[in-house]
Amino acid sequence: MKNNANLAVWLLAGFAAAVSVVPAIAEQQVLRLKFDGPVAEAPSDDGDLAILFGGSPPKTLRQWVNKIHKAAADEEINGIAMIIDGPAIGMAQVQELRQALARFREAGKKVYCYMDYAGNGGYALATAADHITLAEHSELSIMGLRAELSYYKGLFDKIGVQADMLHCGAYKSALEPYTRTEPSKPAAENINWLLDGLYDGWVDMLADGRGKTASQIKAIVDTAPVASDDALAQGLIDAIGSFDDFRGTIRKEFGQDVDIVKKYPRKDGPEFDLDPGNPFALFTEMNRMMEELFGGEDEPDEPGLGLIYIEGAIVMGKSQSSPFGGATAGSTTVRAAFEAALEDDNVKAVVVRVNSPGGSALASDIMWKAAMKCGQKKPVIVSMGGVAGSGGYYVAIPGDVIYADETTITGSIGVVGGKLVVRDLFEDKLGITTTEFQRGGNAGLMSLNRPWTDEERERMQSYMNDVYDQFKGRVLHNRGDKLTKDIEDLAGGRVYTGKQALAIGLVDKLGTLDDAIAYAEERVKLDDAPVYVFPKKKDFAEVLAQLLGEETKDGWEIRMPRQLAGDPLLGTVGPLLQGLAPEHVSRIMADLHNLAILNQERVGCFMPTIRVK
């Protein structure tokens, strides 16, 4: 333990030496916001380790939005300088950030934006600014939205793998990639309808931001990419220039002595006890500072709201980080979070943020039950992120009120099931033969050495129908009096945007996470209430202890899946492929994850892996 403490002192003292004293306040202050990477939904413990070793602080959507709201109310902040540098950001997240920036502007403050280059999402975010500067000789790459799906049947045919798959609902196409080389007619119809809704929502954002009609924007998009000179001539930007030119624009607007605030809210420099004989004083102070700077959550000590994130693919067990980015939402973790929020007397209402394409049917039902139990005693309000479909919709329906963004992807009420038959691959391609022995009439049901018999297929379909009926029954129980159509006309795997879902009663309101929090406050008659995240994020001491190899006793522990993190092939090839083709790799990994769910549980509630860009 003494060696660990000494190591902690060595690590933290180096960090402390880099902390500088806050400069004197200038006459005008402008908050710099730089969007140059992924915008996460839920906080992650992995971010604290990244900070310790020189990485960037964690950036969640709520942290960005809260920063903008705080700056709007701060009399010392006079404006925002927003830099857009290739952010990995979803359309629903863009909508929430745009709303926050609109509130900032309503406070009488201006937003200036600079871009070296902008794609669909980056430009949509930029149009929330008063003034946009685009780099010289650059372009707006706003060619419209494109959806991609990968199909594996051709590969399977080459390597001797047979996909034996079933589904409930004509539009439930999540397993088509394994049995087809292109989408079925219902799947293509659904994707085109979904893309129509997303495209219209995106066009409306651009039109609203630049004072144009939707028709004008669509005409421009059809001729894109748009060179910087043409973008200026068509009123899509306000200036062409270098980053130095942009800095000059900021100085012209706010004064030559303008103070560009990069860290906000500002903190006074911490005082450290560097006495070698008292290493734990430094450790304690550093832990406090890390919590303040990087999202440590307060213990519920006054009436407030609970906030529970259901982020990523839904799985059985504990939530985990992914070696390829993102996360999974585990039934054990989420259920424990609901129980903790229910038992805490200071939590008066619970807001659930869902950003998930679904996954395990059983895990989804466990989360549904936990939310229902919590909702019997406290209001449960749901906010949907970029996607809340299939199992992601399943876990959202217990909400007294469900909020969605216009471009949220939701619905996909349906069930899939299946397995891969790999016998030909092993025997014909690899020369590996397998002999099976079994006891029990159905012991070979999930054998990968043969397709289902007719009797087994009928048994599987019957089981899936039961799960599907349960899913629809849950929807009717929670949403029956709000639906505008018969459940059979809404289910079957059909996917909707948030705006489309509102029209048919699958959600209640269009709005952001902030809107959901404000509604929850109103329900329990609180004003500007503290928000407590469940499960509680580890503090820096716990993260450091994990780094040093010490076991923790946290029943909600979020850890890297060892079977993936420790795989030498993934560890070597994964990052390379991720760098060369990140979208393809993430899509393939999601599809592999879905197959793993089927292998473990036979059925699943997940959506097709669609990437829209």
235-246 tens-digit pLDDT? 999 999 999 999
Is it the case that residue 545 has pLDDT exceeding 60?
no
Q: How far is CA 109 from CA 77, 104, 296, 384, 612, in A?
A: 9, 6, 29, 29, 33
Domain(s) labelled CATH 3.90.226.10 in the chain stretch across: 27-143+224-261, 297-434+442-612
CA distance 559 to 549: 13
**Confidence label for 319 from pLDDT (cuts 50, 70 and 90):** confident
CA distance 174 to 186: 12
Least confident range of 397-411, 540-554, 586-600: 540-554
CA dihedral 351, 354, 355, 359 (to 10 degrees): 150
Is it the case that residue 476 has pLDDT exceeding 80?
yes
State the Cα angle at 483 between 480 and 484, rounded to 5°: 140
Token pair of 289 as six digits = 């500072």
Token pair of 400 as six digits = 């007294």
Query: Which is it for strands 380-389 and 409-411: parallel, antiparallel or unpaired?
Result: parallel
So what's the pLDDT on residue 591? 73
CA distance 547 to 56: 18
Contact (CB, 8 A) for 122 and 206:
no
3-state helix, strand, coil in the chain (%, to 5): 45, 20, 35
Is it the case that residue 549 has pLDDT exceeding 70?
no
272 alpha-carbon distance from chain centroid: 37
Is it the case that residue 32 has pLDDT exceeding 70?
yes
Write out pLDDT tens, residues 63-89.
Answer: 999 999 999 999 999 999 999 998 888
598 burial (CB, 10 Å; 0-12 / 13-18 / 19+) is: buried
Q: Which CATH superfamily is domain 297-434+442-612 in?
A: 2-enoyl-CoA Hydratase; Chain A, domain 1 (3.90.226.10)
So what's the pLDDT on residue 604? 84
Is it the case that residue 160 has pLDDT exceeding 70?
yes
So what's the pLDDT on residue 427? 86
* Strand, helix or coil for residue 533: strand
Residue 178: its H or E element? helix 176-179
So what's the pLDDT on residue 13? 47
Rounded to the nearest integer, the mean pLDDT of the chain is 83
**Confidence label for 298 from pLDDT (cuts 50, 70 and 90):** low
What's the CATH code, domain 27-143+224-261?
Answer: 3.90.226.10
